[in-house]
Structures are given as C-alpha cells and as structure tokens.
C-alpha cells in the first residue's frame, strides 16, 4: 500500500534491505534458530551497509535519516519471518544505542558510536529486573559513588542481546531516598567490566535466535565517566526512548502479520479440500480480508504516530495506542493464519508456526498491552 509518509530515500532503503534479507538472512534463519544466536558476521555486514547508522548524525558516520527510516528497517526485519532477527537488530539500533546519542557526552559518543554503527559493538538496554518489568520506577539495582567510580549491585532479567552483547546501558538507583521514578541514573557498562556477570541464556517460547539473558552486578565498578546523562535523571531518558522502542515493535508486529497473511493467502490458493481450493470458501476469504483491513488500519495509526513524533509533538498517547493495538491485532491475525494452515500450521519449523510463537512477544515486551492502555487512559 502506497503511503504519503515515505519518500524516495525510504523506498530505496527498503529495496536494499529487502535484497539483504532475502540473500543474507532467510537462508540462514533456521540455523540461527538452532544456535540461539544471529551471526555476528551478518550484523557486521549490516553495519557496513549503513543499516545501524540510519538515524545517527553524519558527523558520527550515520545517515541522519528520520523516524520512517527506522520503521522501514523494522518492517523489513519483520518480513524476514524470523522474529528473533528483528528483535536482535532493533534492540541494538532503536532501543538501546539511541541512549548514547541522546544523553552521552561528546567523549562517550566518539568512543562508542563508531563500533555501534559498524556492527562490531552490539548493544543491550538493561532496565528490566525480576521484580520490575513495565514498572520501571520499581527497579532495585543500586549504584553508589566511590571516588572516581560507581559501584553497581543488583540484577537484570529478560535482557535481549544480553548473552552475546558487548555494551550495556544499565538503569540503577542512585538516590535510595527518592520515591518512585526519581533517583534513577543510566550507566554505560562494557562486557568485560569486573563484577559484571552474564548469567544463563534464557530458553524462550519464541524468538529463539534472539539471545536473552539475566545479568548480575556484584560490586561492579565502572568509571565515573560512564554515567550516561545527568545523575538521578535516568528515568526520563528511558521514558523518552520508549517512543522509538514502541514504534519499532508496532512496525515489526504489523509487518510480521502482513507477511503471515501473504503466506496464508498463497496457502489457501494451493490447498485443495472438499472439492476445491480453500480460497473458494467464502468464510475463509472474508476472515482474511477482514484481517487485511485491520492490519492496514493499524499500520496507518502507526505511521500517523511516527509523523507526530517526527514533528516534535507530544504523542505518548498515540504511540502507546500503536504498541497496544498493533500487538493485539497481530495476535488475532496470526491465530487465523495458523488456523487456515490446518495441521501444517502446528508443525515445528514451518514459517507460520514459528511466526505465531515469535509474535506473542509483542504484547508483552516493551510495555505490556495493559500498561500501554493505562498510558492512554491517564491522559484523558
């Protein structure tokens, strides 16, 4: 569907990404699923082609493109049919590394950003804890200043890119007396920092090629210069980047569902049952037509919210709607796609079976649907 939001530069980017996905991702996706890891060589290829620098300024080696370039990246990752690849790429490029640009000093940016853009340094955002997921204000990891260092103690859970990552943006409480969201700061923690330990790689329901880990900080000492942004202002930095995160998730969700729908339409053209092709059954055709309608409506909400964000307008409510609605519509569409594949839709390693499992994350990660709806309701 043509859209007024995309320009020629976005279309060229989409063509380049689609060729890359077809040649470098789809043929290897099954192997990555078994290994539980996206090839680092492939990620470096993406860096070399500029896919990780889309929204970073040209002076740092980026392309200085807008939010719709990020949406194109997310959509084409979604079309790969491997949700774990999309999560790996988007956590690195849209959900974690922007923290460096938004809050980092010139010294921090010049030290870390080249490796991030090249794909040599893969990033993770470490906010979620065993007792604090969507409730960011409830984190318990502590950071105490000790001379020229900060000492971190605590743990993080469900961290995407956590097991094989290189650089972590970590939220910790720096003012224990502060209530709620106050008193949280962000820190840059390198993988080999003493006292920083990566726990087990978590086995998940879906997105198997996205590595997810628990992290432990045991008297982990980071230089004072690794404080990211202002002390005690980290919560606001996390909230600010949630726009990127939720637009990315909405983009991936819709694209995955659109792709599942395309696969299913082809399947019902080919599948013979009860004396004809399944596509000849009016009830099936209409269900899938309604799915297409719902997805296109969700997509237009996504694009409108992204446009509001690009104009610097307050769009927390709209972006929260995007995250909730796109995720829930995707669950619904995926259910129908699997249903109309019959028994094959339940067989492991078929595209639809994998996509159904992978898509379940969208209603949970990056803020559960219920939390997103509360973000909308409290702005009434």
CATH number at residue 65: 1.10.540.10
In a domain, 189, yes or no: yes
**In this structure, are 132 and 249 located in the same domain?**
no
The reported pTM is 0.96
For 118, the token pair is 């090249």
Contact call for residues 145 and 72 (beta carbons, < 8 A): no
CATH number at residue 137: 2.40.110.10
**In this structure, are 244 and 361 located in the same domain?**
yes
DSSP-derived secondary structure letter, 344: G
Instruction: Give the pLDDT score at 195.
Output: 98
**In this structure, are 249 and 354 located in the same domain?**
yes
**Closest listed residue to residue 149, CA positions, set 215, 234, 227, 218:** 227
Q: Which of 118, 137, 164 is where one domain is finished? A: 118
Radius of gyration (Cα) for the chain, nearest Å? 21
Contact call for residues 23 and 15 (beta carbons, < 8 A): no
For 336, the token pair is 């129908």
Instruction: Give the pLDDT score at 310.
Output: 95
Name, in order, each residue with C-beta under 8 angstroms of 261's C-beta and a sequence gap of 6 or more. 288, 291, 292, 295, 333, 337
Span 99-142, pLDDT tens digits: 999 999 999 999 999 999 999 999 999 999 988 766 777 899 99
Under-50 pLDDT residues of the chain: none
Domain range enclosing 154:
123-232
In a domain, 3, yes or no: no
Instruction: Give the pLDDT score at 135.
Output: 73
Name, in order, each residue with C-beta under 8 angstroms of 338's C-beta and a sequence gap of 6 or more. 345, 346, 352, 353, 356
Instruction: Give the pLDDT score at 242.
Output: 85
Span 287-335, pLDDT tens digits: 999 999 999 999 999 999 999 999 999 999 999 999 999 999 999 999 9
**Closest listed residue to residue 187, CA positions, set 177, 179, 196, 178:** 196
Residues in the chain: 380
Contact call for residues 142 and 175 (beta carbons, < 8 A): no
**In this structure, are 305 and 213 located in the same domain?**
no
**Helix or strand holding residue 74 (H, E):** helix 67-79
**In this structure, are 187 and 282 located in the same domain?**
no
| Domains held by the chain: number | 3
Q: Of 245, 256, 318, 375, which one is the catalytic site residue?
A: 245
Catalytic status, residue 245? yes
**In this structure, are 59 and 175 located in the same domain?**
no
Contact call for residues 173 and 155 (beta carbons, < 8 A): no
Contact call for residues 174 and 183 (beta carbons, < 8 A): yes
Q: Which of 63, 88, 118 is where one domain is finished? A: 118
DSSP-derived secondary structure letter, 93: I
Instruction: Give the pLDDT score at 178.
Output: 86
**Closest listed residue to residue 101, CA positions, set 160, 69, 60, 72:** 60
For 173, the token pair is 């409480």
Q: Which of 118, 144, 178 is where one domain is finished? A: 118
CATH number at residue 321: 1.20.140.10
Contact call for residues 358 and 323 (beta carbons, < 8 A): no
Label the pairing between strands 227-228 and 212-223: unpaired
Helix, strand, coil percent content, the chain, rounded in steps of 5: 55, 15, 30
**In this structure, are 264 and 344 located in the same domain?**
yes
- The Cα–Cα gap between 237 and 96 comes to 11
Phi-psi region of 212 (alpha: psi -120 to 50; beta: other; left: phi over 0): beta
**In this structure, are 285 and 326 located in the same domain?**
yes
**In this structure, are 257 and 221 located in the same domain?**
no
Q: Is 163 exposed, middle or buried (0-12, 13-18, 19+ CB in 10 A)?
A: buried
């Amino acid at each position: 569907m043509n859209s007024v939001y995309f320009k020629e530069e976005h279309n060229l980017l989409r063509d380049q990404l689609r060729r890359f996905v077809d040649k470098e991702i789809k043929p290897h996706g099954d192997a990555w699923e078994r290994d539980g890891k996206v090839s680092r060589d492939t990620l470096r290829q993406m860096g070399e082609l500029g896919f990780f620098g889309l929204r970073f300024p040209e002076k740092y080696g980026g392309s200085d493109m807008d939010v719709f370039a990020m949406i194109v990246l997310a959509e084409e990752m979604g079309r790969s049919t491997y949700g774990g690849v999309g999560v790996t790429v988007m956590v690195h490029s849209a959900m974690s590394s922007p923290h460096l640009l938004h809050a980092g000093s010139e010294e921090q940016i010049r030290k870390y950003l080249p490796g991030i853009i090249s794909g040599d340094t893969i990033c993770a955002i470490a906010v979620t804890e065993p007792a604090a997921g969507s409730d960011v204000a409830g984190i318990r990891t502590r950071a105490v200043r000790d001379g020229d260092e900060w000492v971190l103690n605590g743990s993080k859970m469900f961290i995407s890119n956590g097991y094989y990552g290189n650089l972590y943006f970590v939220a910790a409480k720096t003012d224990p007396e502060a209530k709620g969201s106050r008193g949280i700061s962000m820190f840059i923690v390198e993988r080999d920092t003493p006292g920083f330990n990566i726990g087990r790689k978590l086995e998940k329901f879906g997105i198997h090629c996205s590595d997810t880990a628990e992290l432990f900080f045991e008297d982990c000492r980071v230089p004072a210069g690794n404080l990211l942004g202002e002390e005690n202002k980290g919560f606001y930095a996390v909230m600010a980047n949630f726009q990127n995160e939720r637009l990315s998730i909405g983009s991936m969700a819709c694209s995955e569902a659109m792709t599942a729908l395309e696969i299913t339409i082809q399947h019902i053209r080919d599948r013979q049952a009860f004396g004809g092709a399944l596509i000849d059954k009016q009830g099936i055709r209409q269900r899938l037509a309604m799915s297409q309608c719902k997805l296109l409506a969700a997509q237009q909400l996504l694009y409108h919210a992204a446009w509001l964000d690009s104009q610097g307008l307050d769009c927390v409510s709209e972006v929260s709607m995007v995250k909730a609605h796109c995720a829930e519509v995707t669950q619904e569409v995926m259910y129908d796609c699997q249903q109309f594949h019959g028994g094959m839709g339940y067989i492991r390693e078929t595209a639809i079976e994998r996509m159904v499992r992978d898509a379940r994350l969208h209603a949970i990660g990056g803020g559960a649907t219920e939390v997103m709806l509360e973000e909308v309701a409290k702005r009434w």
